[in-house]
Structure 1
Amino acid sequence: MDVDDDYYCDDYYCDDYYDDDISDGESYGDEEWTANDDEPHQLVADKRNRYVVLTEQQIRHRLGQEAAATAEVFSVPVDWALALLRHYRWDPPRLEEDWFSDQDRVRDAVGLGGDPGREGEEEDDEEETNLICGICMEGDKPAAEMASAGCAHRYCHACWRGYVAAAAAEDGGGRGLVALRCPDASCSRAVLRGMVERFFFADADIDGRDAYERALERDYVEARGLWMKPCPAAGCGCAIEIPIEGDGSGADLVCRCGHGFCWRCGGEPHWPASCAAAVGWAGEADAASAEWVLVHTKPCPRCRRPIEHGGGCRALRCADPCGLWFCWRCLGSIDETGWLAHDSCAEVRSPAAATEEELRRAAETLGAFLRYQDLWAANRRAQQLAEHEARLLGLRAGDKVDKGEVVAEAWEEVAEGRRVLGNACAQGQSMVRRRGGASARRRWELFEYQHGETDAVLDRLQQCAQEAATTAAEERELDRLLAVLAQQISVTRCCVDSFARAVEDLHGMPERD
């Protein structure tokens, strides 16, 4: 039997299965680069665009090429090559080194036998008709209804289907399929892809091959976690790849499905703010609520429920079921002493606030939180407006091509700058809580200054874009406006990038001086 014909013409892993026009990925940078290209990757300086989106088919094509190459080098079936590569975390050089130094040890570790192709075969011994399944323990099974993973442990087809289906349902994604071993606890023989495809049983609209391939794709992507990550959106099988020499820092990624996420933490896009600042920003609402309670309320003397004084009479009544009447100034009970006893009482601070300094700092932190929330919302609205204007520009008729391109670029730069300023609010809020020392306060003041300067530059660019888009000037005047706009775009891009780098430099700063 010819090895090439028998093992390597698998329709999933032959190059003929794929169209010739499959590319290595959809580039989101100014210059497209190829992950397997021998030439050095050409990267743009802007951190916004240094990645490639790979579809499920492209991922499958890559791992299929590696599996076919490994099978050819080792003269083994493709199913064996897949099991070997997965065991070695898709590291062919390390696999080749171990394989050619001690092939038997590698086979034992992976769970491969000495005779390729025996997996899933029924027993041919016609005299053996009284076979017993090792799972359901039913006897009188004919050999044609029994199968093994290439070892001595045979089970009926119904039990194999249940065993494979249970592995596919372990995590809802079929990851257990690629790590299956013989059901016998004392046996380490691997259950290969052919067995999974044959006995996979599911009511879903996917078959065993699809489930196994998707599990392999996830395993392949996760093994390359230093430069490749799966899209975290539910139901999306794409992956994001950055250049090997890149570190992914500062990258907000957008998959072709439209889902955006941070390369490092997998959360919502937040560059240039750090992941810690973004997590803190998400929980700031609870802290701000506590600070608001500390600043604006006092506890009921009886039930300790926080109560706000909205102005007017100092005599307050706690809500039911407490119902206590008390004086807001001294927190004394009016029910016991009467109102006249509190006519000239002394002010009592809320017991929750030990000192005036605590009240001052709580009020300051609360004010900063509300301010940064307003800044974030304002930049978000400005970003959406700029994106809307950029989209509309392409639909307007009668504009000169050069004018439309320049103005659209200006609006896109405004949108990106507003996104950066909005995300940076999380970093500013995190600095507010740790600005107790002199140097920490100076860093925060510098951040505030740079944030304000960048905001002013974006306002100027927006005004220039609006003027160029709405002015019906002569050709000479229009050329002048477009030249000014192009220069303003360059200045704004430089300013936004400088601000983003300055915010990134704050990531490693100590929380306290």
Structure 2
Amino acid sequence: MASGDGDGDGYGYYDLGDGDDRSYGGHVEETEDVASEIEQRYAVLSEGDVRERHEEETAKIMEVLSVPSGFAAVLLRHYKWRTDQLLQDEWFQDERRIRDAVGLPADGAVPTLVNVRRLTCAICFGRYDAGRMRSAGCSHYYCVKCWRGYIRAAVGDGPRCLSLRCPDTSCSMAVLRELVDAVAAEKDKQRYARFAFRSYVELNPRMKWCPGPGCTHAVEFVGSDDGEQNDDVFCLCKHGFCWRCGEEAHRPVSCGTVRMWLAKNISDDSETASWLLVNTKPCPKCRRPIEKNYGCTHMTCGQPCFHEFCWLCLQPWDNHDYESCALYKLDEGTLDGEEDERRQAKTSLNRYLHHYERWVANHESLHVVLNDMEKLESSELKKMADELVVPVTELRFLREAYEQIADGRRVLRWAQAYGYYLHPGRDMTKRKLFDYLQKQANSSLERLHGCAERERIELFGFGAGDIEPETYWSYKEKVTRLTKVTRKYFENLVKAFQTDLAEVN
């Protein structure tokens, strides 16, 4: 944890010099927008945006092909909402074939009502007036009651109801939205409409709904789908996920490594780890259990002990070494027979627990960071800005710092999966480079996290109105610099992982 004093790495406060008469609202060099390239690869859409696009593309097909809404919807779903492919090629080359494939009548719409006095329903065999009979545009007529039950069963089966065909097994005529609206119960009509709306995203290969809890946004991806590398996207709800595999955002580790790691975590080893890893650890000095309630790893025992130590390695904080904390120590020496086998099994489990514990710790820290970000954006930044008498944009350096901390926690979390699958014997050179890069990134991240979290609380805890301008400027410039330095370390780490530590060659 960084303190308010400067240190040998140059991470302390800037010396502003004498006579530097600046107010709170002065200019600080902008941080680099490193996320711009990533953000250009996808767009986050609200439910209203999706509905607008859905309606626009349906209207376009209706106009160009001169077909009713139900026809257009069936065609668009068949082509997975790839409007250009439908208009440029298939339809105008062989309209008859396309109509047959999707279940549309060959010569336009066929009346679903007939001017016959009475008809027999082919499902219930009751005789009804023609006004109580309907068809899907073919010659097979059924009573409204049977249609209602047929559609209710289909809607209960989920989105497959959008591909519903005529009840006659020899007929492939599609059941259109107009027929559903005419005969179905209100609840079933609403569910059908919801499935039809969501199909715009769920059938579109370039779009996905955000899997975040309770989120209604969709993400449109415009990047490349080539290769095995992941493509992380982040919704406005703060949830990040991999476009390729659907798991949580796991840059820079490949989807294959994530699959192996998650499978490992639900095996017997993870049960042992879950039993060993608890929410508290004993203070190394007094042995009282300590609960970790902040995001960084700097722990302080309560009174009367006040012992300060690292949550991960339990070293005293005053001589804590980020290098040794981040590294996995391989047991040395060889034994014979069964004892050697037991030793290897223990070493393997210890190696797994080393990476699993840090995987869990960074995940928990990430949740703390995201909660802190939500508090900042919802109320705290506005309150601080009002007390400092500056616009909220003046404090965006804190939001940028927390965004970098969150990204760093994600990267360090999944770095543990990468590190675990480095062979302890064959990949020693890669292991050394991995440890070196991870050590640099982790050390800088801890400094930034401590500065943005603890020092912010200490500085603004009694109200921002009492803070001297020089003190505020020193803090702001420190956070800004630490954010840029930390970002650079993680850029190097991510680049190295994406090339599978090719530097060793």
TM-score interval (norm. to shorter): 0.5 to 0.7
Which residue number in structure 1 is paired with residue 69 of structure 2? Answer: 78
| 1:375 equivalenced with 2:358 (yes/no) | yes
Return the match for 1:242 from 202, 215, 221: 221
The answer to whether 1:221 aligns with 2:201 is yes
Q: Is the 8 A contact 2:230 2:251 kept in 1?
A: yes
Q: How does 1:363-402 map to 2 (within 5 A)?
A: 363-387=346-370, 390=373, 391=375, 394=381, 395-396=383-384, 398-399=387-388, 401=390
8 A Cα contact 2:229 2:498, kept in partner: no
Pick aligned residue for 2:269 from 288, 297, 306? 288
Q: Which has the larger radius of gyration?
A: 1
| Matching of residues 149-188 of structure 1 within 5 Å | 149-170=136-157, 173=158, 175-188=159-172
The alignment status of 1:133 with 2:133, answered yes or no, reads no
From 48, 53, 56, the counterpart of 2:44: 53
- TM-score when scaled to structure 2? 0.68
Is residue 2:102 matched to residue 1:110?
Answer: yes
**Partners of 2:201 and 2:218 within 8 A in 1:** yes
Q: How does 1:183-262 map to 2 (within 5 A)?
A: 183-201=167-185, 206-208=187-189, 210-225=190-205, 227-232=206-211, 237-244=216-223, 249-256=229-236, 259-262=239-242
Query: Percentage identity across aligned positions?
Result: 35
- The Cα RMSD (Å) is 3.6
Q: 1:100 aligns with which of 86, 92, 101?
A: 92
Deviations 1:95-129, CA, capped at 9 Å, x for gaps? 2322222322222222222454435x321123xx2
Alpha carbons 1:454, 1:496 under 8 Å: kept:
yes
Matched residue type, 1:153: H
Task: Determine helix, strand or coil for the equivalent of 2:208.
Answer: strand
1:269 maps to what in 2?
249
Residue identity opposite 1:490 in structure 2: K
Equivalenced residues, count: 393
For residue 450 of structure 1, what is the aligned residue in structure 2?
437
Q: Answer yes or no: is 1:493 the counterpart of 2:493.
A: no
Give the secondary-structure state (helix, strand or coil) at the position aligned to 1:118. Answer: coil
Distance 1:476 1:231 in 2: 43
Q: Give distance in 2, aligned partners of 1:114 and 1:421.
A: 59
- Deviation string 1:408-445 (CA, Å, 9 cap, x unpaired) is 433442233123212322222233xx4442xx232233
Give the 3-state SS of the residue equivalent to 2:128 in structure 1.
coil
- Asked whether the equivalents of residues 434 and 501 of structure 2 are also in contact (C-alpha less than 8 Å), the reply is no
1: CA distance, partners of 2:271 / 2:216: 41
Q: Provide the rounded CA distance (Å) in 1 between the counterparts of 2:388 and 2:411.
A: 30
Contact 2:233–2:241 (8 Å) recurs in 1: yes
| Contact 1:291/1:363 (8 A) holds in 2 | no
Matched-pair contact (CA < 8 Å) for 1:291–1:366: no
- Rounded to whole Å, the distance in 2 between the matches of 1:383 and 1:289 is 21
- Report the equivalent of 1:39: none
Question: Partner amino acid for 1:122?
Answer: L
CA contact (8 A) 1:291 1:362 kept: no
**Matching residue of 2:324:** none
Shift of 1:257: 5.6
Matched position secondary structure for 1:141: strand
* CA 290–428 in structure 1, closer or farther in 2 if over 3 Å, else same: same
Measure the CA separation in 2 of the matches of 1:405 and 1:89: 41
Matches within 5 A, 1:113-124: 113-114=105-106, 116-119=108-111, 121-124=112-115
Where do 5+ consecutive residues of structure 2 fail to align?
A: 1-29, 274-335, 460-465
Deviation at 1:148, TM superposition (A): 0.9
2:362, 2:409 within 8 Å by CA — same for their partners in 1? Answer: yes
Structure 1 residue 355 displacement after superposition: 4.4
Q: Which amino acid aligns with 1:264?
A: R
Q: 1:179, CA displacement in angstroms?
A: 0.7
Q: Is the 8 A contact 1:160 1:199 kept in 2?
A: yes
For normalisation by structure 1, the TM-score amounts to: 0.67
Contact 1:468 1:482 in 2 (8 A): no
Q: Which residue is equivalent to 2:298?
A: none
* Distance across 2 between alignment mates of 1:43 and 1:198: 53
Output the CA distance in 1 between the equivalents of 2:364 and 2:132. Answer: 66
Gap runs ≥5 in structure 1:
1-29, 31-41, 293-352
One-letter amino acid matched to 2:173: R
Deviation of 1:366 (Å): 1.0
Q: Could you report, residue by residue, the CA deviation over 1:442-501 in whole angstroms, capped at 9, with x for unpaired residues? A: 223321221111111112324544557746885456545533432221111111122123
**Cα shift at 1:274:** 2.6
CA distance in 2: counterparts of 1:134 and 1:502, whole angstroms: 68
Q: Is the 8 A contact 2:437 2:492 kept in 1?
A: no
Q: Which structure carries more relative contact order (alpha carbon 8 Å, separation 6+)? A: 2
Q: Is the 8 A contact 2:209 2:217 kept in 1?
A: yes
- Over 3 Å counting, the alpha-carbon distance change for 1:53 and 1:113 in structure 2 is same
Given the alignment, which residue of 62, 66, 87 partners 2:57?
66
Query: What code does the residue aligned with 1:194 have?
Result: E
Give the secondary structure class of the aligned counterpart of 2:418: helix
